[in-house]
Homo-oligomer: A and B are copies of this chain.
């Protein structure tokens, strides 16, 4: 397994008009939950190695209908405070940062 963890932002749109679409949506959400933090309804921040990312992409590709669904992955680099800004609700938890107890 690769040693360098990347920060990846994953966003998805899955068709939910059909029952099959809603099933795909649940599958995609489950795969994302396994590798990152849900920060919005269909947005995840994942810390993954190259190998984990490859596996995730393969599993996602098998789970969606490419004609109707869309998944986008963005590699995020730089210090978190420099590259991420939020307005309103924010339920992100910085597991790597110093814990305040």
Contact = CB atoms under 8 A, between A and B. Distances in A.
Number of copies of this chain in the oligomer? Answer: 2
A76 interface: yes
Given A11-B11, A40-B11, A40-B13, A84 B73 contact: yes
Interface residues of A, number: 36
Contacts of A82: 75
Nearest to A70: B89
A69 B12 CA distance: 18
A72 B86 CA distance: 4
A5 interface: no
Contacts of A83: 74-75, 77
A68 B88 CA distance: 7
Given A12-B40, A72-B85, 8 more contacts: A9-B9, A43-B72, A57-B85, A66-B89, A67-B88, A68-B89, A71-B86, A77-B78
Interface of A: 9, 11-13, 39-43, 57, 60-61, 64-78, 82-90
